[in-house]
Structure 1
Amino acid sequence: MERPTTNYPTEGVIKAPATYPPVLESVEILGYVTDRNGIGYSRDIGRSSTFAGRCYYVFGDTFCKDKDGDFVGLQSNTAAIVKSPAEPLNSEYLSIQKDGLVDALIPLIGEEHRFYKDPRFWKDPEWRVTLWPFGGIVETSPGLGWIWYEKGMEHLNDGNMPRGVGVARVHVDLASGKLHALRTETLLFGVDEPRVGGFSSVLHEEHIYLWGHHGKDVVLARVPKDSPWQRDKYSFWDGEGYVPWWQAAVPVVKDVQHGAIIKSSLFGKDRPWVFIGCTKWLDSMVMIGAAASLEGPWELIPLFKATGIDYPQLKMYCMYPHQWAFAEEDGELMVTWSEEWPGNVVAAKLKFQQGDNPTYWKRVSINEAPHKTRYDLMKKHAAAIAAYSGVNISPEGRWIAPGFAPPEGVMPLHLRIEGSDLESVIEGETLVKAQMDRDLQISIPPQIQIAQMAQYLASIFGTEQDKVNCSFYYKIGACRHGDRCSRKHVKPSYSQTILLPNLYQNPAYDPKTKMNASQLQNHFDAFYEDFWCEMCKYGEIEEVVVCDNNNDHLIGNVYARFKYEDSAQTACDALNSRWYAARPIYCELSPVTDFREACCRLNSGEGCVRGGFCNFIHRKEPSPELDRELELGTKKWLRARGHDEKSMSRSPSPEPTRKRY
């Protein structure tokens, strides 16, 4: 059988990664990170992040100046956009006041203004509030993300006194490129707890991993990417696994002050995680390390000693890598560090020595491999192949498709292999690489009718027979296993329904509540009316469902089903940058369109024996009077705007037959 046509190249060359331990071939000082307006700001940190397809620098203390170079105020954090990655040292502030003061990315709010009402002048010259974002921005969905910051009170004579770590929701104005951050006064971690997120942060699969100082060392925590503002969702690395109590956290990196942990191909696939930073000794030494996993172990190696440009005699700190600036496959990486005041952020281009043997690869048929290799590969990837194609396969490589007769012979599976000597790899007993998602291409024999197979796969999609997609997530929009589920949670790209997880805070589940049944119903009615009216701003509402469950994945979940998909998308985009009851809103499109399948059928009349721990939705109903009032009010509102079904009809209404007096 001929090979199937694919969109992948059939052969190529992969440059060898940089050697490890690393060897520096050169360090080229590029200059200061400057602003396009030509004003020479004195600032530090200078950590960068890619966000909504753009590159941004996040700075710490920024001494703002006007166009004449006169000092106008101090901000503890600012953000600037890099308009062209080809010019990595040129950034631009997008929000500057008329007098030259740069707007802060993470703003002061509430009681903080009591100490620092006007950023130009300290109310009390002895103190100021600091919000330092050392950890960088994590993007969890396009244009939306989070930034952790260390809050402190800085005394002019005694230095900074930490208050804890908070988190802010970040979103971008796609038209202007300006970043906005929303936060509350409540901190995630107190002064005596680990400052996770205050050192470094990275998104990996379904979790955000956060490093932070606890005492002299750095510990590691993680949180699901959809709930970083929930303190009880954080878990901590104890050396063997992740546990919910921070007291069990063990150090993962020692004797460092600043730095970043990134996922990188610089040192090859065996060491995908790379650390760049500086020691706590203020010796200006750039440290580097690489590890196979996020948790380490991390053995840091001195790389070179950083120097300043205009202030070479000062100490250097805040050392960070910037992957977007140069090509890692060429062994190149940009690193920045900060000079002590009154200095700025210095950038340098590092060139690492690469290995001598590049990797040649070619896509070949499994039939070209030896029998033992073929057998081992089929056995190893049997489950993945079945999930990928919808067709089961035996360890011998034969088709076992429900409803179809297996063809004769071994299926012609195509894969990509790589090695320094291609012929020896093909003739040998080992295949260096065989990845399912990217490198295994299944060629369906002509004996199997593709149309019948597609029809069969469509018929079992989202059911218990579907071994790939989670049926609970498809029916309910939530799964009790969360990101640990063995099946896929496919989020829709368009839907009529939006889901706002954990939005409704039911006082009935508060052990301290003293509300009776009538007061609880009034509390819910007030929330239901508020939510319904707010959703009407985005389009015509057909249904609102609030979960009365008490299990983790359903508690407080609120669904809103619109008549049109465009309305749901508009609502989802708008709500992700809003807050409700002093908590940030997280909104997503939900696959649920029929709540008859999502709701528990035994719940009517309190018949479900599982109560609030049922895995199907227990729908909390508003009072009948409110439900009727909202329905009539919505119809009247639509009729007044000509959007009701009657006014949208093409045919004219019949003349009334009853006389009016």
Structure 2
Amino acid sequence: MHKLKSAFSAMTSPTKSASDSHISSQPQHQAPSHQPPRLRWPPALLSPPLTLGPILDTSPRHYPRDFGRSIQLSGHTYYLFGDTFCFSSPPSQNFLGVTNNTIALVPDLHTPAKSTWLQEYGEEERVEEFVSYTEEEEEMCRRWKEEGKNKRIVNWAFGGIAPVPNTQTSGCAEAWMFYDSGETLEASVIHGRGIGVAKLSLSSPSNPNTIVCERTGPFPLFDPTGPSWGNMSILSAPDGYTYLLTGRDLDNYIARLLTSSSFADPSNYTFLHKDGHWHPHYSPPYGPLGSLAHDILAGQGQGALLYLPDFAPEGKPYVWVGCSKFLTGRVWVGVAERPEGKWEVVDVGELPRGEGGNRYCVYPHVWGSRLERGEVMVSWSDDGTMGGKVLVGVLRFETEGGEGCADE
């Protein structure tokens, strides 16, 4: 969708993030012990991407939507969506409105193209926001509607989550999440409002429907004219830090903080500068004339940082899977020794055209992948139909070393 193209160019621990983390591909037998195969570098696909289909709701209702980043908390898997267009059930299919951000449960990991809302909605009810509006934001949207202006406030969560250490097996699993807030007019983002922080929690770890999102800390967390920290991808790394890959216009930046610290406190963050050091402060200008390092994963747009030490090339355990800022519909893969780089990034091929629209928001899903076979599940958005849709597919990469794997 056009508004998203504008948005992406303008806005864009020991405990690992479940959506951006390593899932061990060690074999089940104990003897003999073998290393699993690794991603061959430079990477190449063994075959064109396989499309599994669009992500659909388990009900018969139609929900055009985009984004489709997945997160995992306390063993449950969810998709985070952006603008979600809500309709009543067939045959009427009355349009009920747009929800700017939503969350849905993946009830069966073996059917990743199916999701379900956390509660049942009546025939004339639209899905609720996951990152809710403040009273002030609700009032602004109400006033614009009364004035006949097609303006909205959106709170989009592109970056994934960082689980709070030592809570995943406790009575209340928790995670941090960033949301990128903006004002839209017609189909374009016209004003960035800055980045905010929310805390996710599961009051009953065994019940996936008990997940809630509570905005916390100051808003905006940082100067809204600068980078919206964490709006691309966040990754909790084994060194005890969570890294925030961040896009602003054509530049990309990175910040970090201790995973054990409060994400709602701006004083806990440090920012990578061009001198190669992490500093607690920064100031404008931004881009080539500023002091911040601005070329982290240069040219990349939406995607995810992953820590895959058993699958990535030896010595470069950090992996990027995503797309560029330029709506080419192609998948890019990168590897690095450290989250801040330096990164080697390669174009591995074009995604299926589907309805012929722009393809964007490319996200890997390790929980649906078979890394021991070189297979990585990805999703992407396609705006070729009204409201867009999220498709799921599989990329099969060449691997080397290990025992290999036989075709099925």
TM-score after normalising by structure 1: 0.50
The alpha-carbon deviation at position 124 of structure 1 amounts to: 4.5
**1:131 maps to which of 147, 155, 161:** 155
Point out where structure 1 has 5 or more consecutive residues left out of the alignment: 1-7, 360-661
Cα distance in 2 between the residues matched to 1:157 and 1:16: 45
Which one-letter code corresponds to 1:57 in the other structure?
Y
Aligned position for 2:391: 346
Would you say 1:108 and 2:133 are equivalent positions?
Answer: yes
Aligned position for 2:244: 210
Cα distance in 1 between the residues matched to 2:157 and 2:112: 20
Greater relative contact order: 1 or 2 (C-alpha under 8 angstroms, separation 6 or more)?
A: 2
**1:194 maps to which of 227, 236, 255:** 227
Would you say 1:235 and 2:264 are equivalent positions?
Answer: no
Point out where structure 2 has 5 or more consecutive residues left out of the alignment: 1-28, 284-290
Aligned position for 2:26: none
Aligned position for 2:24: none
Would you say 1:177 and 2:177 are equivalent positions?
Answer: no
Change (3 A) 1:64 1:352: same
Aligned position for 2:359: 316
Aligned position for 1:517: none
The alpha-carbon deviation at position 352 of structure 1 amounts to: 0.9
Cα distance in 1 between the residues matched to 2:207 and 2:143: 26
Identity %: 28
Change (3 A) 1:217 1:29: same
The alpha-carbon deviation at position 91 of structure 1 amounts to: 1.1
**2:41 maps to which of 20, 26, 32:** 20
Aligned position for 2:59: 37
Change (3 A) 1:84 1:173: farther
The alpha-carbon deviation at position 308 of structure 1 amounts to: 3.7
Cα distance in 2 between the residues matched to 1:146 and 1:16: 33
The alpha-carbon deviation at position 321 of structure 1 amounts to: 0.4
Which one-letter code corresponds to 1:104 in the other structure?
E
Would you say 1:330 and 2:351 are equivalent positions?
Answer: no
Would you say 1:165 and 2:195 are equivalent positions?
Answer: yes
Which one-letter code corresponds to 1:163 in the other structure?
R
8 Å CA contact 1:116–1:123 kept in 2: the answer is no
Change (3 A) 1:11 1:356: closer
Stretch deviating more after TM superposition (264-273 or 138-147): 264-273
The alpha-carbon deviation at position 266 of structure 1 amounts to: 2.6
| Aligned length, in residue pairs | 349
Aligned position for 2:184: 154
**1:348-407 residue CA offsets vs partner (Å, 9 max, x unmatched):** 111111115549xxxxxxxxxxxxxxxxxxxxxxxxxxxxxxxxxxxxxxxxxxxxxxxx
8 Å CA contact 2:41–2:313 kept in 1: the answer is no
Which one-letter code corresponds to 1:275 in the other structure?
W
Map of 1:631-642 to 2, 5 A cutoff?
Answer: none
Change (3 A) 1:155 1:117: same
**1:546-573 residue CA offsets vs partner (Å, 9 max, x unmatched):** xxxxxxxxxxxxxxxxxxxxxxxxxxxx
Map of 1:577-596 to 2, 5 A cutoff?
Answer: none
Map of 1:132-531 to 2, 5 A cutoff?
Answer: 132-140=156-164, 141-142=167-168, 143-156=173-186, 159-174=189-204, 175-178=206-209, 179-184=211-216, 186-205=219-238, 206-225=240-259, 226-239=261-274, 240-247=276-283, 248-251=291-294, 252-264=296-308, 265-309=310-354, 311=355, 313-340=356-383, 341-356=386-401, 358=403
Cα distance in 1 between the residues matched to 2:344 and 2:313: 17
Stretch deviating more after TM superposition (90-99 or 48-57): 90-99
Aligned position for 1:377: none
Which one-letter code corresponds to 2:85 in the other structure?
F
Cα distance in 1 between the residues matched to 2:334 and 2:187: 36
The alpha-carbon deviation at position 100 of structure 1 amounts to: 3.2
Which one-letter code corresponds to 2:328 in the other structure?
D
The alpha-carbon deviation at position 158 of structure 1 amounts to: 5.1
Structure showing the higher strand proportion among its residues:
2
Cα distance in 2 between the residues matched to 1:161 and 1:274: 32
| Secondary structure at 1:198 match in 2 | coil
Change (3 A) 1:157 1:277: closer
Structure showing the higher helix proportion among its residues:
1
Change (3 A) 1:108 1:357: closer
**1:51-96 residue CA offsets vs partner (Å, 9 max, x unmatched):** 1111111011111112232211111110111111111111111135
Change (3 A) 1:118 1:180: farther
Map of 1:527-566 to 2, 5 A cutoff?
Answer: none
Aligned position for 1:571: none
Change (3 A) 1:209 1:161: same
Change (3 A) 1:235 1:314: same
Cα distance in 2 between the residues matched to 1:123 and 1:147: 33
8 Å CA contact 1:97–1:103 kept in 2: the answer is no
Cα distance in 2 between the residues matched to 1:314 and 1:267: 32
| Secondary structure at 2:136 match in 1 | helix
Larger radius of gyration: 1
Which one-letter code corresponds to 1:83 in the other structure?
P
The alpha-carbon deviation at position 10 of structure 1 amounts to: 5.2
8 Å CA contact 1:33–1:91 kept in 2: the answer is yes
**1:307-327 residue CA offsets vs partner (Å, 9 max, x unmatched):** 343x1x211110110000022
Change (3 A) 1:161 1:38: same
8 Å CA contact 1:236–1:242 kept in 2: the answer is yes
Which one-letter code corresponds to 2:245 in the other structure?
W
Change (3 A) 1:118 1:29: farther
Cα distance in 2 between the residues matched to 1:122 and 1:203: 44
The alpha-carbon deviation at position 126 of structure 1 amounts to: 2.5
Which one-letter code corresponds to 2:110 in the other structure?
A
Which one-letter code corresponds to 1:304 in the other structure?
G
**1:181-237 residue CA offsets vs partner (Å, 9 max, x unmatched):** 111562112321211111111112432211112342110001222210001111011
Cα distance in 2 between the residues matched to 1:294 and 1:38: 42
The alpha-carbon deviation at position 38 of structure 1 amounts to: 2.6
8 Å CA contact 2:51–2:352 kept in 1: the answer is no
**1:86 maps to which of 110, 117, 121:** 110
Cα distance in 1 between the residues matched to 2:187 and 2:402: 57
Which one-letter code corresponds to 2:225 in the other structure?
D
The alpha-carbon deviation at position 39 of structure 1 amounts to: 2.0
Aligned position for 2:7: none
Aligned position for 1:563: none
The alpha-carbon deviation at position 118 of structure 1 amounts to: 10
Which one-letter code corresponds to 1:203 in the other structure?
S
Please report the RMSD computed on the Cα atoms of aligned residues, expressed in angstroms: 2.2
The alpha-carbon deviation at position 249 of structure 1 amounts to: 2.2
Which one-letter code corresponds to 1:242 in the other structure?
W
